[in-house]
């Protein structure tokens, strides 16, 4: 068990799996959302806005879009309503694309 997950407490976790977070192997358990897995393994920040403001988990039910990340190459994936899967690739999102990608000019 890694990151900030709590041990014990009578929780039954799904099977341990691995996904790739920003190019680095990360741990998750089947039945976790992508956002839960990212926050438990690494940190609370999930994306930054076009104005470089940090955002994370807010509504937890697919409404606010604050949790969007790039999942398997697809930007703007709401990670609070997406189940983590074995081998999935997840990237922090910067603006409308992956962190570190060139930004489109603002008008």
Per rule CB under 6 A, is residue 62 in the interface with ligand FES? Answer: yes
Residue 76 phi, psi dihedral angles, 5° rounding: 65, 30
CA–CA separation, 87 and 25 (whole Å): 9
At residue 37, the 3 state secondary structure works out as: helix
Beta bridge partners of 94: 48, 97
Q: Is 78 in the site for ligand FES (CB under 6 A)?
A: yes
* Segment 21 to 60, residues that bind ligand FES, using CB under 6 A: 57-60
Identify the residue among 80, 84, 88, 90 touching ligand FES (CB under 6 A): 80
Site residues (vs ligand FES, CB under 6 A): 57-60, 62-67, 78, 80
């Amino acid at each position: 068990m890694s990151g900030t997950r709590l041990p014990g407490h009578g929780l039954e976790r799904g099977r341990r799996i691995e996904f790739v977070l920003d190019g680095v192997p990360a741990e998750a358990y089947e039945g976790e959302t992508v956002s839960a897995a990212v926050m438990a393994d690494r940190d609370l920040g999930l994306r930054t806005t076009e104005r470089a403001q940090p955002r994370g988990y807010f509504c937890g039910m697919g409404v606010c879009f604050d949790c969007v990340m790039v999942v398997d190459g697809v930007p703007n994936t709401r990670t609070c309503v997406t189940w983590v899967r074995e081998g999935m690739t997840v990237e922090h999102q910067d603006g409308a694309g992956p962190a570190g990608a060139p930004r489109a000019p603002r008008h």
